[in-house]
Amino acid sequence: MSDRTVNANPALEAAQRRVRRRYAAERRFRAYGMAAVALAIAFLFLLIGSVVTKAVSAFHVTEIRLEIFFDPAVIDPDGKGALNHFAQADFAQLYRKTLLTKFADVKQRRDVSELVSMVSTGARFKLLRMVEDDPKIIGTTKEVWLPAEADIDMVVKGEIATGTPEAQRRINDKQLQWLAALQSSGDVRQHFNADFFTNGDSRQAELAGIWSAMVGSFFLILITLVLSFPVAVMAAVYLEEFAPKNRWTEIIEVNINNLAAVPSIVFGLLGLAVFLGFFGLPRSAPLVGGMVMALMTLPTIIIATRSALQAVPPWIRQAAQGMGASPIQVILHHVLPLAMPGVLTGTIIGLARALGETAPLLMIGMVAFMVDVPHTPLDPATALPVQIYLWASNPERAFVEKTAAAVVVLLAFLIAMNGAAVFLRKKFERRW
């Protein structure tokens, strides 16, 4: 008996060693997985943190306080008081006179030009709007906060080091002295940059905004939704519920799956050749962009809808048929409502992908410089990802923070859309 026990011990020990090795391997695998997740989260926080830290300053703008005399001789020399004549006035003279009065020692022509350039060229439009809103201010003196030029804004925010040699920065020592004088008298402040959300694009970084790009993205996503959602749902319902299982159906299903993996720029080439080249639709229009994005989004919604239909238990169909419902009634009244959470989730994810695409829009010309806000889907427009691309390619330092801020806005939209998808699934999902 003892001999058998002694002889069995080596086999038992070998089995125990194998079990220990298997458990050790499982612990290592679990540790590798946790390390991978931690690394991914660290990179995500690093990415978002770097973007947010650069974007924070874009939501504030530097303004300079000046006592502006709304000189009738400059604004309305003819005394007509007509609103359409005010736009022809040289409002830059108003803050030019104030600055020269404040810095009376500035006499040379070059110094005068550098002093006046500290105020943004967009200040004249602000003064124009003030006069148009209230013509009674003509002939009076008002305290007005005017936007500073981009380099002055960067200096106040600490983005441009003032300790570097004068030849290595775009703002000279005299301008730094004038800025210090304004700061010491309390005539410089940091203010919330509402113009970033209400203005269109601009060559001047302090005036550039994302409103035109946001409106263009809205039109684009709206057209994408209107074109892709009904077509994709109907196609998915037919393929899943009514189509015969034959070779042609298999070919269609394989092509739909392949189209979901096609690079987005291919759809841009298709839109360029067909919608612009063959049909002659307007270039840079959200209508064309929405049509291209609809083609790109269709496979994603079809696949998600088919998966949602497959998840509906077969006894739902059988029960409806047993009650005398027709095949169409079974689908429309019973199956599709139960599958709608998955359908909406796939739709929102597809639209979120379309919202963040850039390459197809570049191919159809939505990369143009757009200042005006589009009013219809046929007007020339750009989209938020393309606006980010344009600002990122601009060498001016002030556009770096604008780019980061636009990225933050785009990420907020994408997170909101994905959050809506999760909410809809949790709200309407049923467990069987």
Q: What does the DSSP assignment read for 354-408? A: HHT--HHHHHTTTTS---SPPSSTTS----HHHHHHHHHT---THHHHHHHHHHH
User: Nearest 5°: phi and psi at 119?
Assistant: -95, 140
With a pLDDT cut of 70, the percent of the chain lying above it is 96
Give the pLDDT band (50/70/90) at residue 1: very low
Residue 405's alpha-carbon distances to 52, 54, 218, 237, 399, in angstroms, are: 7, 8, 18, 41, 10
> How high does pLDDT run on average in the chain?
88
Question: Minimal CA–CA distance to 155: which of 136, 139, 175?
Answer: 175
* Least confident among 183-187, 230-234, 241-245: 241-245
Reported as a single tens digit per residue, the pLDDT across 321-346 is 888 888 889 898 888 888 988 898 88
pLDDT at 8 over 60: no
Question: Minimal CA–CA distance to 115: which of 105, 129, 130?
Answer: 105
pLDDT at 19 over 70: yes
* Contact (CB, 8 A) for 236 and 305: yes
**Structure tokens that stand for 392 in this block:** 């990122």
User: How many C-beta neighbours within 10 Å does residue 198 have?
Assistant: 11
Query: Can you give the pLDDT at residue 431?
Result: 61
Reduce the DSSP state of residue 141 to 3 states and report it.
Answer: strand
Question: Minimal CA–CA distance to 374: which of 293, 305, 290, 311?
Answer: 290
Reported as a single tens digit per residue, the pLDDT across 387-424 is 999 898 888 888 989 999 999 999 988 888 888 878 87
* Least confident among 95-99, 226-230, 300-304, 361-365: 361-365
Query: Can you give the pLDDT at residue 32?
Result: 95
With a pLDDT cut of 90, the percent of the chain lying above it is 36
Reported as a single tens digit per residue, the pLDDT across 113-140 is 999 999 998 888 899 889 888 888 888 9
Polymer length in residues for the chain: 432
Averaged pLDDT, 266-275 = 90
Query: Can you give the pLDDT at residue 82?
Result: 66
